[in-house]
Structure 1
Amino acid sequence: MFPAVILRSLRSLKVSMRRVLLLSIVALVLFSAYHISSISSLSSLGLHWNVSKNTPEQNDDVYNANSGVDIWDWRAKRVRRAFVHAYSNYKQYASPHDELLPLSKGRRDQFGGFGVTVFDSLDTMYLMGLEKEFKEAVSVVRQTRFEIMEQYTRISVFETIIRHLGGLLSAHSLSDDSVLLQKAEELADSLEPAFETFSGLPWSSINTATRDPSGGYIGSLSEVASFQVELAYLAHKTGKKRYYKRVAKLLKTLAKTVPSHYEMLPTHLSLLNGFPTEHGFSVGGGADSGHEYLLKYYLLTAQTHNSSLELYMRGMNHMLTNLLFLSPERSLLYVTDRTDDGQASHVFEHLSCFLPGLLALGVHSLPASAFSDAPLSQGSVLARYNLSELHMSAAIGLGESCWLMYADQPSGLGPEEVSVFPPPVSHDPSSALSASSGLWIDAMERWREGGEEGVPPGVGQKDPEPDGTRRDYELRKPEYFLRPETIESMFYLWKTTGDVRWRERGWTIFEALERETRVEVGYASLTTVAESQALKFNEMPSYFLAETLKYLYLLFLNEDRIPLDMWVFNTEAHPLPIFNWTAWEKDMFGIKR
């Protein structure tokens, strides 16, 4: 009997062992499949640093020509990795605050504490296919309340519109997530009191808790005239007239600002009546997006607002004849500003390097009639030119100069400002120097009268001056603040000309960004571009993720994710789809051409 019991027990144990073995094999297969799937999923999102070092994904720091991967898509993938490095460290050390302090692993709130980096990064994440990060960010946005609790805290109306509101509207247009449109309305309504001025030009700041606007009675052009793109799109998506009313009042005020003898919008305007408070002109800081939105509003609304186009063409034509100069040694084309007394400052700003892209976009997108029928002042020298070709020559020449501001520097990155040496002055009327004003249009006239041999003046610059022997400028502000403007223009110049050199230059800049600004927990601005491995500032602005990395990614990506004939980027690089006002909207809003 005892042996029989043992036999039965052994048989039972044998069966159990078989089951255990079978279950173990199944578990092992499932475990392996799960991790293979996870690695594949991470790879599709560009999160390759979690993969084993022996995999091809981990070893893609150096391009492998035999991998079968296109080099430009590989470069886009590298930018996506850079974005994840920046954003993941922001999430770990700074969220839900505004921005990461990368050197101290801290955070700062200077845009209301609403988490501006999240809002600014939404559409970048979506375009890069970072689905998990995008969904998590939408959850953060859903819980955000746009109320500043501190009594004396103010937020910039301009920055909030271009960063937060622009980010929400763009991410909604890409994803069709209704939460984002709902939050966009909520945010726009919290800013409403800032627009309650006689001219419709908004106050510069507001406390969204007390609803008290504040600021001086004089506003810079960029601050008071750069909201029509976002509010018009919001009006179109919601069907609510109150948003369009702000746009209509602004455009009416701007049309009055430029009488027949006043070609270009000045840098500062009165909030009381919209009239100029000075006679200075610029396309740099304080003015840039004011000019930019004239063209972009016209394009966004399917080229239907003719007064906005007219203001754009007047302003750009005035800029071509009055604000463009050639440097005396290398004939670098640069744009500067004129002060209230009419003097040119010869300061060339990094912020002005958006202009080549804007001019190229205009040539690419506008009908030929926009140039042939452009309003010109009586006796204007521009009547002798094909304006479309002139705008494009300026775009290419300026783009090359912006690139050389990078290529000239030991760091490979561009300074905040340079002072270009003014043209030499001769008091002898017979001297050849007396014919050289330094103005680009004067050089163009001499080129035209000489039979237009070769390329136009200021176009065709190729060689950097790393040793400084032929530089005809000096660094005025040597810092680099992770700015996007030069890369933005490279994106537009690539899309409009097809010249691959703009992509190659963009890649060179990205390599410099990785070499000079990448730190352990993100990226940091530089104190100077005049040396490699310079000291860094403890900051990573949100526009680095919204603009700099997005434009680089789209510059390298072979797939045309945002076709220029279907989308318009706001000044913070948030793309919005071009739309036509419906008949109902035209009637309801009182829209006229």
Structure 2
Amino acid sequence: MLLRPTRIVFLLVAAYGLYLLHEFLFSSSTESPTGPRGPHFHIPPSRLSIQYPFKKNGIGKDEAKAEAVKKVMERTWRLYKEKAWGADEIRPVSGERKNTRNGWGASIVDSMTTAAVMGLTDVFADQYDWVVNQVDFSHAEGLVDPFETTIRYVGALVSAVDLLEAKVIKAPSKSYRKDILHQAQILADKLGPAFDTPTGMMWPRVNFEENKGVDSDGGRKESTSVHLARAGSHWLEYSTLSHLTGNPIYLKNSTKAWDWLVYNRKEETWPGIIESPKSIWTGASMGNTRTLGAPDDSHYEYLIKAHLLWPNKYSTKHHAKRWVQAMESAHKHLASKSAKTSPSNIFLLSFSRHRYENYMGHLACFAGGNLLLGAKYLSRPDLFEFGEGIIAGCRYAYDATDSQIGPETWGWEPDEPKEGTADFQKPVTAPQKDFFKAKGIWPTNVNYPLRPEVVESYFYGWRITGEQKYRDWAWDAFNAIVKASEAEWGYSEVSDVTRLRIDKTDNLSNSCESFWSAETLMYLYLIFAEPELCSLDEWVFNTEAHPLRRRL
């Protein structure tokens, strides 16, 4: 049967439209038309192996240690469910409920992927039922933080779909894909006004009642600015959501800020490292902070991970290039050897208010593992060595304290000056001076809020090199953390890592963020689990440790 010319035209237009949608979603996401035309370095094949060949070398699961981590997760879940079900957190000393993430049950949703990876079928079933049948993401307690909500909630939901489709855990329902993605889209749609700025950099908060982006106080000031982690840490989650749903709006929103972050055409003092914070109205720098630590950390983390997630997209090759620039600049300008530790350790300086600061935070310890990941993939032995040095330095911060847990922040004496810095900071209090004399570093903030970054880097060290020391260090950290943090109703932030606790309530801050079960226990378990579980050759972890399948 012959088709009429009008029908032929309609079919051609429809086919071309589908082609453009496919290209937008799965080939070359939104790019700056005047941006750089691609990297000037070798990009390896997408199937290049990142992970150490464990199976070939007869290395598998450490059953006893993996089971020990799993038991801590099971206890965490059981006590939370008993005393604080539906709340964002439990207060682990008192057993009280606490809402810090808008009352959507952050501890339930954020730990979904940990339960899946550990094979905790009953726990996952409870979490799935909460997500699908009980939580209402269209209403929120208070203003919503789009950064934290994206990495914890949206990241968990899309990761859960990926894990279920990979059959990592048995699906509680045949309709799991539709049901979970329905909830993910409700939440992502409500977060959409966060991107309603001239630059696409997110508002610090979203008012769900009025459906508009706002400042942290609910207003809309022309002076509003954001740091890089907030501006640049949502592409992994939203590109995955667009892929899973076929709706390009989430990917489109997450690329709006690229002109000021990835395709930045302004001259950079240190190539690849951007001054922050940034104006959400103009994209101009509102300060001169340059750091791999908070509050800019995950922007740099996501540059290489964007490319690993979608290695065949043209645009993400530029992400990889920017990551290399940033890490080369960090190596040149921020790496600092300690003068008083033996052996000399590598720590990361920050630059702020026109001077270097010789303080490093626990959050910055992610950089060691991130360097190993990118350097292995891009064949950069110099950056790989840099990453190993940072991991060893963070390990030293743990080894230096009585609790064997690193402090939230610490200082050290650099072995050489930096241009423009007459004097580095020194220990001030008597305890700091005594600690420095004994260990060559000094804590500037002695608490430990159950953070994952050090064991996260051990995870990458283990999975990429296969060196037993990373498993050993992880086991030391696990035992030290459990010993210091165990409370009647779970595991608590430690008040002071420089001393040992006296009794079961001593030295605890009665707080437990959802990243304890979402990240810290996830990475610890994966270090001792079967190495092929969530292999780095097949998965990329978002900044909340939610595994996303690589789109190879």
Is 1:166 the equivalent of 2:152? no
2:307 aligns to what? 298
Q: How does 1:354-503 map to 2 (within 5 A)?
A: 354-366=366-378, 368=379, 388-423=380-415, 436-437=416-417, 469-503=437-471
| Distance apart, 1:275 and its partner CA | 2.5
SS at match of 1:338: strand
State the alpha-carbon separation in 2 of the partners of residues 71 and 122 from structure 1. 22
1:551 aligns to what? 523
Code of the residue aligned with 2:231 in structure 1: it is: V
Deviations 1:480-500 (A, max 9, x none): 110000000000011111110
1:311 aligns to what? 322
| Distance apart, 1:513 and its partner CA | 1.6
SS at match of 1:526: coil
State the alpha-carbon separation in 2 of the partners of residues 474 and 138 from structure 1. 44
Could you tell me which of 500, 504, 515 is aligned with 2:472? 504
Deviations 1:498-520 (A, max 9, x none): 11001001001111122111112
Counterparts in 2 of 1:149 and 1:121: CA distance versus 1, 3 Å: closer
State the alpha-carbon separation in 2 of the partners of residues 467 and 281 from structure 1. 28
Aligned-residue CA RMSD (Å): 1.9
SS at match of 1:551: helix
- In the alignment, structure 1 segments of 5+ residues that lack a partner are 1-69, 369-387, 424-435, 440-465, 581-593
State the alpha-carbon separation in 2 of the partners of residues 267 and 75 from structure 1. 42
State the alpha-carbon separation in 2 of the partners of residues 260 and 271 from structure 1. 19
State the alpha-carbon separation in 1 of the partners of residues 128 and 236 from structure 2. 23
State the alpha-carbon separation in 2 of the partners of residues 319 and 258 from structure 1. 19
Largest Rg, 1 or 2 = 1
Is 1:536 the equivalent of 2:508? yes
Counterparts in 2 of 1:149 and 1:549: CA distance versus 1, 3 Å: closer
Is 1:566 the equivalent of 2:538? yes
1:126 aligns to what? 116
1:221 aligns to what? 228
Contact 2:94/2:489, CA 8 A, preserved across alignment = no
Could you tell me which of 343, 361, 370 is aligned with 1:349? 361
Q: Which stretch shows the higher mean deviation, 249-258 or 233-242? A: 249-258
| Distance apart, 1:558 and its partner CA | 2.9
| Distance apart, 1:301 and its partner CA | 0.8
SS at match of 2:443: strand
State the alpha-carbon separation in 1 of the partners of residues 265 and 85 from structure 2. 45
Deviations 1:197-248 (A, max 9, x none): 1001110111223313211520011111111110111111111121121133
Code of the residue aligned with 1:479 in structure 2: it is: N
Is 1:322 the equivalent of 2:333? yes
1:110 aligns to what? 100
State the alpha-carbon separation in 2 of the partners of residues 335 and 303 from structure 1. 32
SS at match of 1:474: strand
State the alpha-carbon separation in 2 of the partners of residues 526 and 169 from structure 1. 32
Code of the residue aligned with 1:229 in structure 2: it is: L
| Distance apart, 1:565 and its partner CA | 1.4
2:284 aligns to what? 275
State the alpha-carbon separation in 1 of the partners of residues 460 and 312 from structure 2. 19
Is 1:145 the equivalent of 2:145? no
Percent identity between the two aligned chains: 29
State the alpha-carbon separation in 1 of the partners of residues 540 and 352 from structure 2. 31
State the alpha-carbon separation in 2 of the partners of residues 299 and 256 from structure 1. 18
Contact 2:61/2:529, CA 8 A, preserved across alignment = no
Contact 1:347/1:419, CA 8 A, preserved across alignment = yes
1:518 aligns to what? 486
2:14 aligns to what? none
Contact 1:228/1:247, CA 8 A, preserved across alignment = yes
Could you tell me which of 257, 265, 269 is aligned with 2:264? 257
| Structure number with higher relative contact order (C-alpha < 8 Å, ≥ 6 residues apart) | 2
SS at match of 1:365: helix
State the alpha-carbon separation in 1 of the partners of residues 207 and 263 from structure 2. 30
2:51 aligns to what? none
SS at match of 2:496: coil
Q: Under a length normalisation based on structure 2, what TM-score does the superposition of the two structures give? A: 0.79
State the alpha-carbon separation in 1 of the partners of residues 396 and 205 from structure 2. 37
Code of the residue aligned with 1:532 in structure 2: it is: L
Is 1:334 the equivalent of 2:347? yes
Deviations 1:384-403 (A, max 9, x none): xxxx1211111111101101
State the alpha-carbon separation in 2 of the partners of residues 560 and 81 from structure 1. 21
State the alpha-carbon separation in 1 of the partners of residues 119 and 320 from structure 2. 35
| Distance apart, 1:314 and its partner CA | 1.3
State the alpha-carbon separation in 1 of the partners of residues 401 and 418 from structure 2. 24
| Distance apart, 1:148 and its partner CA | 3.5
| Distance apart, 1:260 and its partner CA | 4.5
Contact 1:205/1:213, CA 8 A, preserved across alignment = yes
Contact 2:450/2:520, CA 8 A, preserved across alignment = yes
SS at match of 2:311: coil
SS at match of 2:439: coil
Contact 1:257/1:274, CA 8 A, preserved across alignment = no
State the alpha-carbon separation in 1 of the partners of residues 548 and 475 from structure 2. 26
State the alpha-carbon separation in 2 of the partners of residues 261 and 551 from structure 1. 35
Code of the residue aligned with 1:293 in structure 2: it is: Y
1:156 aligns to what? 145
Contact 2:112/2:160, CA 8 A, preserved across alignment = yes
Code of the residue aligned with 2:99 in structure 1: it is: D
Contact 2:307/2:319, CA 8 A, preserved across alignment = yes
Deviations 1:363-390 (A, max 9, x none): 2223x4xxxxxxxxxxxxxxxxxxx121
Code of the residue aligned with 2:385 in structure 1: it is: S
SS at match of 1:325: strand
- In the alignment, structure 2 segments of 5+ residues that lack a partner are 1-59, 166-175, 216-220, 420-433
